[in-house]
Structure 1
Amino acid sequence: MGRLHACAKSLCIVVFILTMPSLFSQQTGTGNEVIRHIPQSDSALVALIDSLEREHYLKAERVFNEEMAEGWMPAGFVSVQLGRLINYNHYEGFKPGVGLRTNAFLSELFSTGGFYSRSLRSEDNNYGAFFRLYLEASRSSYLDLAFQKDLNATGTFYFLEGVEPFSDEVFKMFATESVDLTRKYSIAVTQQLSASLKGELSWNHANLSPRKLYPFLTDSTNLGDLQGNEAGLRLKWHTKKETATTIWTNVFFGQGNKTVPYEYIRLETQAEISVPLSAVWTTDVRMTAAIIRGDLQASHLYSAFGTRSRLIGIESRYSFATMSPSEFAASSFAILYLRASLQTGKDKPYGFRPLIIFSSSGGVGNLSPAFDEIAKTFEKGYFESGIYFAELIRHEFVSCGLSLHYRYGPYAMQRTIDNLAIKLGILIKTKSKN
């Protein structure tokens, strides 16, 4: 019996050796031939695993694009706010910090997070927290609850998705010299009303404390703390046609407490159009206008127009490059920005191909009678022109350039050098959210 068992074992080994070449040749054939030898139950499992891998990859790509479009870098189930890592302005100095929020990998239903930063020069601690509840599966409609204690630039306002996170327009904050300490609680509902129209309803309660005398004031007017409520509506209409057009509108109503009473209504609007004239020429036009009326305090005036803190600075589109920060204020204003871009070396895939941008800007502002004697405005018209040699140096998606801007007209300075602004340009090319 033992001999019979040994013979059978030897026969099996011989058969295995003889069939090895045919098995090997089948395994090195096409993928279908390999799958043919997988049992049906195992084949279904492999297909399921492959489907789950594809779904995970597509979700990871979607989450990455969505987060980056808003200025956040995904890292697992949390995202890091890139704009909070390194910041700077002339009042606070360097402002390192971190902003974190959960993303769709943790939950498709909500996101929560916060931020902390330290103002090294002014020695301020800034922090905040928020919670976002998505109202639709598409995540285009959501409810926001937020709190923040932070230093914000004086006399500024924001449109709904008005500035792309990687646009050089964000460098405007580097020139800030006048800030207000703001403690604010807010609630907002954002809704995608149609394919082209998005809206936001909001309410906030804020305490505002000016940190220094505003540069546009002509005397040492006492700037007191303000406390009050504000409710508003923000709208954004955008087309994705060849001639891209975007229109923003804000309407806000504010009211103070009994200690420092105030009441106002403000209306802000902005229109932007980009027209490709040819394969190498593109024209961009932006018109911004605003008005605030009521029983106002100096902190309510618009003043964030200029970015010339020094002779040399950082290029920031759609601002007055030769005007000092908060040099002028206005209770109503209108500004026109014109930019014509020439892409050189269009037919060359590599090499030196600078982008040359010609720009001109002009605006006019007015003050309500209560501020005529104590504040400066630009009712005679403010004008400047410049040329920007962009993309002089390129490395993958980042490029650097140099621009020159000159101030002229009724508010020109006596010394020529005081009318000049030299800007170092940084462009980051990425996918637009729009």
Structure 2
Amino acid sequence: MQKYCACLFFIFCIWSAQSQIPDKIGDTLSVVEQDSLRKSKFFKQIGNGFFPTKYIDIDLRYLIKFNQYEGIRTGLGGRTNDNLSEKYRMVGYVVYGFKDHNFKYSIGGGFRISKSTDTWVDFSYTDDLQETGSSTFLTDKRFFSFFEPRLLNISLFHHHITKNISLEHRITPYLLSEIELSRSNITTTYDYTFFVDDTAFKEFRMSMAKVSLQWNPFNTFESVGDIEVEKEGFPNFTLQVSKNFKDVLGADFNFFKADFRTIYKLNFNTDGSSFTEATLTGGVSKGKTPLTHLYHTYPNNINKATILNRFSVAGINSFETMYFNEFFSDRFATLQLKHYLKPFNISKRMQPQMVFISRFALGNMDHIERHQDIEFGTLNKGYSEAGLELNKILFGFGLSFAYRYGAYHLPKLTDNIAAKFTFNISL
């Protein structure tokens, strides 16, 4: 039934996009007066990952991606906008993986309780993949970029079928909250056994509650026409707690998680072109937690023999010398420091920017013997890497170099070095 609903939803998306072709040219003067505002609104939506049409905003995240398990992943996603209804919304997507030959999809909707506090109740049904060891915050603004480099090399996914209901509420202009209740069936796509309570689990069920808070005490607001633009201030703070309940709706385990992140940015000139950014993250999981819901600290290095074979694209906040699936933790902390120099003004079209980077990670894991048929290490000795980037050399492309040092320095020198492209583009 859900598959048919998803198909119908995206047929409506296509119809809505076609309806944008006007029957005739409107009043020229009116168009000129509103042109600047329309452009501002259009590029704001594109920057948030949506291509706006009259009734449906097309979600650009699902057009095309690539990873090691699905190969090319392509599809269509979207959401209804205020032109259709200011009180109700529908969201969803359908994608297909050309390597695993499977469709994935999500269908959902919601209704607004209060416009002044932007309070929404949402529900969804999702049948898709998720990277093992990844951890995201409910209250994060959508992470959208035209190119997501880490996705290219990810191979460790688990399949999940999830039903959830959530409540999103802005407590104050600076404090956003979200609560989610979900029920999931999970199966790994790789060899893995979670051995606990004298039982070997190859697949498992989750019944989870999450509470997430995003506090941005230094954000500022300004109006551009009828659009209120929120500008990010620093520092900002995110906290999320999660609890899985055994025997509730058939769930298999009891465990608790808490995740935290804070970001600070210090500008060194008035135009903000030279600055230092620090990101501190941490997480802890207590109880009987399978590997799917633990932490990997965002590695981004392919396990191949030479530097050239490992040459790919650097991520934004990933450890470039840490190999995929090398470490997992049930408690961890990372600190990333980036210092951006003022761009070199070579020409109007060529203004490369140098960035100096230091990254640190510390973690550990109890009861590592529970995780069978897979090998990995822990970060109890502390992981360190340093590097630099020269961004936007040409057409948004640049170069990145990173070096792994300290307790996890590898015997072969070249195995500690990562050289990659960078790609940065802004609207």
Deviation of 1:336 after TM superposition, in Å, equals: 0.3
- The amino acid that maps onto 1:407 is R
One-letter amino acid of the counterpart of residue 74, structure 2:
P
Q: Which residue of 2 aligns with 1:32?
A: none
- SS in structure 2 opposite 1:343? coil
Q: Which residue of 1 aligns with 2:77?
A: 99
Contact 1:153 1:173 (C-alpha < 8 Å) held by counterparts? no
Give the conservation status (yes or no) of the 8 Å contact 2:117–2:169: no
Q: 1:188 to 1:376 in 2, by over 3 A?
A: same
The corresponding residue for 1:352 is 350
Match of 2:377 in 1: 376
Matching residue of 2:407: 410
Aligned residue identity for 2:243:
F
Aligned-pair CA distance for 1:206: 0.5
Alignment gaps of 5+ in structure 2: 1-26, 221-231, 305-309
1:317 maps to which residue?
316
Separation in 1, partners of 2:42, 2:82: 10
Structure 1 residues 417 and 314: alpha-carbon distance in aligned structure 2, compared to 1, 3 A threshold = same
Higher helix proportion, which one?
1
From 203, 207, 214, the counterpart of 2:181 = 203
Query: 405, 413, 427: which is aligned to 2:424?
Result: 427
Letter in 2 for 1:261: D
1:72 aligns with 2:63: no
Q: Once the 2 structures are TM-superposed, how far is the Cα of residue 352 of structure 1 from its aligned partner?
A: 3.0
Please tell me the residue identity of whatever aligns with 2:409.
A
Out of 112, 117, 122, which is 1:144 matched to? 122
- What residue number does 2:265 align with? 274
Aligned equivalent of 1:82: 60
CA spacing shift, 1:140–1:261, aligned 2, 3 Å: same
Aligned Cα root-mean-square deviation (Å): 3.0
Q: What CA distance in whole angstroms lies between the structure 1 residues aligned with 2:122 and 2:34?
A: 28
Which of residues 162, 167, 185 is equivalent to 1:184? 162
Quick check: 1:401 aligned with 2:401?
Answer: no
SS at match of 1:173: helix
Distance 1:372 1:263, change over 3 A: closer
Select 1:115's aligned residue among 87, 90, 93.
93
Summarize the Cα distance change of 1:57–1:186 in structure 2 as closer, same or farther, 3 Å threshold. farther
Higher strand share: 2
Aligned counterparts, 1:34-45, within 5 A: none
Alignment identity in percent? Answer: 22
Q: How many residues align?
A: 374
* 2:158 alignment partner AA: D
Map 1:38-53; keep pairs closer than 5 Å: none
Distance change (3 Å), C-alpha of 1:59 and 1:230: farther
Which deviations, in whole Å up to 9, do the C-alpha atoms of 1:336-371 show, x marking residues without a partner? Answer: 00000012335x771532111110101111102354
**Equivalents in 1 of 2:166, 2:120: separation in Å?**
8
> Secondary structure of 1:327's partner?
coil
Contact 2:134 2:293 (8 Å CA) reproduced: no
Partner of 2:229: none
Q: Which amino acid aligns with 1:366?
A: N
- How much has 1:55 moved relative to structure 2? 10
| Contact 2:113/2:120, CA 8 A, preserved across alignment | yes
- Contact 1:383-1:408 within 8 A present in 2 as well: yes
Name the CA distance, whole Å, in 1 between partners of 2:355 and 2:386: 11
Which residue is 2:333 aligned to? 334
Q: Tell me, yes or no, if structure 1 residue 249 matches structure 2 residue 246.
A: no
Aligned to 2:134: 156
TM-score, normalising length: structure 2: 0.79
**CA distance in 1: counterparts of 2:56 and 2:152, whole angstroms:** 27
Q: Which has the larger radius of gyration?
A: 1
Q: Which amino acid aligns with 2:89?
A: S
